[in-house]
Amino acid sequence: MATPPIAHESFAWEYDVFLSFRGEDTRKTFTDHLYSALCQTGIRTFRDDEELRRGEYLAPELTRAIQNSRISMIVFSKDYASSRWCLDEVLQIVECKEKGKQIVFPIFYDVDPSQVRKQSGNYGLAFAKHEERFGKGDKVQKWRDALTKVADMSGWDLQGITNGYESKFIDTIIKEVRMIVRQVPMFVPNTVGLDYRVEHVIQLLLGESHDGVRMIGIHGMGGIGKTTLAKAVYNRLFVYFERSCFLEIDSTTLGQQDNGINLEKVDNQIKIIQKQLFKKLFNEEIDIGSIDEGIMLMKRRLQARKCLIVLDNLEHRNQFNKLCGGRDSFGGGSTLILTTREAHVFKELIVDEHYEVKVLNHEESLQLFSLHAFGEHALQKQDYNKLLNGIVDYCDGLPLALEVLGAYLCHKSQKEWISTLEKLKGIPHNDIQAKLKISYDGLPDDHIKSLFLDLVCFSNGVSKEKIDNMGYFSDIEIQDLVDKCLINCEWIGISMHSLIREMGREIIRSESRYNPGERSRLWCPYDIHDVLIGEKGMEKIEMIVLNSPMKNMEYNQIDEIHLEGNFKHLPRKTLRCLQWNQCPVKSIPFGYFFDKLVKLKMWESNIKEFGVPLKYFLCHESLDLGWCENLTRTPDFSGAKNLHKLSFYGSSLEKVHYSNIDLWMQSKIDLWGCERLKKLPSSSVENSGMLTHNFPQFPPNLEDIRLYGCKNLEVVSATFPTSLEGIVLYGCTNLKTLLELPQNLQSLYVFNCESLETVHLPKMLEYVKLTHCKKLKEIQGWENAQFLTRIELRGVPNNIKFSEIINKVLKVSKLNSYIEFEGYLPNNETLSWIKFEENGSSSSSISFQLPPLISNLEFLEICISVVLPLHESSYARIEARARIEKDGFRVWTLAWYSFVNGLEEAENVVSFVNFIPQDYFFKVIKAGEIFEVIFEDDKKCMVKKIRVEALYRDREDGFLQILPLTKLHSNTQEEEEEEE
């Protein structure tokens, strides 16, 4: 059942109840008693008057009263249908109901509901007379339809409920109405940045649900404003439901039963919350003997009602199940809104949609902070403005921090503001710390807590690879932290909110407030200096991360740090990762073993040799000695059983230790730029230009191959391992063919291979990039490459037609994922099936109308095509951005990036063609609706041409068709300047 349409305005109801009745039947009896009871209870009731029933139509006063009433009660008496004015009232009431603006209760007073529903008995006689007067036209049929709809609604039957006792009957009605009108909005003190977030959640609620119950999730980190948003959404919705309840769950007392919590205490708390929920929904006090009994009582009552229920601060699926029993406990049309820090809860409960609350932007942050610090939105205290940015930057858009610090600094002097900001850099505010720490305390085990505390030591992003090297199970444990809203996992790495990082660092500081050597982790330059140089305790230190430069210092990540006595100050028993770039030490002497070291990176260092075999580094998995100009030979790898990644990128290496032969068969080795290298073991892959056409056997477990500057390589004739996922070829100037590539290969990047003529694409390929392959004649395999999502063709001959390739890929593509093409379009080539809009460079936005549904065509994707001009520079970075919006809400973002290297004369533009599946963002854009493509203000690269089209598949023959969308208008920069 779809959620009813939701108006954008908040209703201030003029009346609680509109009372519709047949005056001659009940005015002086039942209706009069009911009206008096409603008024005595404080329920604002409009009782229509015969004086308002004059002429052919309802008086404006009656129409306005119906539209401005929260509830309409219709007293169906025996002769109700004989009044055409009464029937017009019913018709008006049904229209309000269907617009989602009203609750309707039919009251059957000495009349059988079936007579109303079927228009039989007295109702049949009344309609026979109406048809004699008005004929069997639309007017009478609309009356009939309206009566049928109302009779099917939940209401009261005098004979069925109280066996004809009117006083008991009226008491029952009053009790129900009071339950509805007593529902009041939640107090929402902060509305900064709230409106568009509320609208976004409302849009999610408008979708269909498979079982008639709509369940929406709101999640985000602590203090981000989930509760505030849920209250605002509740205030917009509760008037449309028969029952509504906003229930805040106390997670400190209601937890999982397997976390060491007293089971009896947990059960008691659940029963208490069940009673609270029952009281709020039905205004009844009940005794609950057990949780299961409470579930059944709740289920029996809820299934008969259309309810709105908000469960705020949900932490576990069991909390929901033990309170309510499940989705099937609720009646059709009900809506459930859940808020949580635990994103995994939504996966377990299979919510229909979920919304992640984001931090406030800078302007919103200034408004919210000023509201609490100065008591107003406007920043009138200009002398404080210089301090405002520092405070707002510290809060990083977190509403909790902005409110807490704003209230704390209210009426304080500038000196106190400055002092507070300095203090916050080392000691977070207790109220903020306590709120954010709840998520950390709820982590499932100490191993994940340890990972989180490791991550907070880094000021910049951390890669998944680094987390693996630190000894964690990155795939599952990263997801646990993401689900807790403690970190963000993006393509650039792991990041987190600055106040979340401060919360974690404060946990570490609390291990030993005044002795850093007693802490498990160090990141402060001064603490690291004191501990390492002063040797003030090293036994407990597991990690050292120096993020900000100090004199002569720069990480464990100890970049540029100069230590006396080689490695003697480092914690050799506990250290897991060491990044020491520009290390001055020339050798690692024998005897300095690192028992738990997983990764060692020493770029641009003075290291000349390893005096200790790597077999003594028992846990060592990764060694990176790039750009070490003094390193002439590799370490002794014999016995290094766990080592699987080696890099000597750009070093002065001359000899590879013989022990490398066996290691090679199970490792990734990068020898790019090792120009002095004279000899390799017989299984090597990369040797910077020394490979001949007799290519060696590849290692069976190899995942990536990178060949740089292999100028003598003409043919790759070896059998590729099935484990191979990626191939990179750069500057292999004599390579002519790439034919028998492994079928499981996912990425193929080929740069500046000037002699390459033929490439055959494997079936599972996802990314292909061919750049400046000037003699390329043929690319085979498009007909099988159904998984391609990114294709770049630049600097290839004109016989390789960009538009033809796109057509070939689309014919075999699964068309269920985002696809992007990038390529140069010489002046003599156009995409024949794309008719570009000219003068795109002057447009900042263009509106399009999504086409209506076409019976014989299946709508698949939206195609957005842009052409960007290239400048005369031989080396340039192309960047353009756009976003897609509907009604001011962003539903998709596009970014085009390209690194142009060595332009040819004909390469004056670069074209991007993006195919976006309709499921990605068109859940909120329906057929016939308008959406807008808005270009970001980027003067580095202006869009030259733009076109938006729809991709269809013919339902009969399966052929693809691309149809242009209707362009409505464009808003140009010139127009905007003229308006200004």
Q: Which amino acids are annotated catalytic?
A: 89
Contact 585, 606 (CB under 8 A): yes
Instruction: Supply the DSSP string of 473-531, one letter for each residue.
Output: -HHHHHHHHHHTTS-EEETTEEE--HHHHHHHHHHHHTT-SS-GGGSSEE--HHHHHHH
Q: How far apart are CA 113 and CA 159, in angstroms?
A: 11
Helix (H, G, I), strand (E, B) or coil at 170: helix
Residue 845 burial (CB count, 10 A)? 17
Contact 575, 538 (CB under 8 A): no
End-to-end CA distance of the chain: 48
Longest dimension (CA), the chain: 112
Q: How far apart are CA 347 and CA 326, in angstroms?
A: 14
Angstrom distances, CA of residue 781 to CA of 618, 809, 881: 46, 10, 32
Q: How far apart are CA 581 and CA 868, in angstroms?
A: 40
Helix (H, G, I), strand (E, B) or coil at 62: helix
Residue 869 burial (CB count, 10 A)? 14
Closest CA to 701 of 743, 664, 661, 740: 664
Closest CA to 307 of 332, 283, 278, 338: 332
Q: Which two tokens stand for residue 792?
A: 């770049």
Q: Which two tokens stand for residue 676?
A: 């002095």
DSSP category for residue 556: T
Closest CA to 399 of 579, 220, 525: 220
Q: Mention every residue, 6+ apart, whose C-beta is less than 8 A from residue 49.
A: none
Q: Mention every residue, 6+ apart, whose C-beta is less than 8 A from residue 190.
A: 225, 228, 368, 371, 399, 403
Q: Which two tokens stand for residue 357?
A: 């609350």
Angstrom distances, CA of residue 95 to CA of 63, 143, 236: 11, 12, 20
Angstrom distances, CA of residue 75 to CA of 14, 23, 50: 21, 10, 15
Helix (H, G, I), strand (E, B) or coil at 349: helix
Q: Which residues pair with 779 in a beta bridge?
A: 759
Is the CA virtual torsion 582, 583, 585, 586 positive or negative? Answer: negative
Q: Mention every residue, 6+ apart, whose C-beta is less than 8 A from residue 622.
A: 469, 598, 599, 600, 601, 643, 644, 645, 646
Q: Mention every residue, 6+ apart, whose C-beta is less than 8 A from residue 309.
A: 244, 245, 247, 277, 281, 324, 330, 334, 335, 336, 337
CA 463 to chain CA mean position, Å: 20
Closest CA to 485 of 223, 190, 255: 223
Instruction: Supply the DSSP string of 898-945, one letter for each residue.
Output: EEEES--TT--EEEEEEEEEHHHHTTSS-TT-EEEEEE---TTS---E
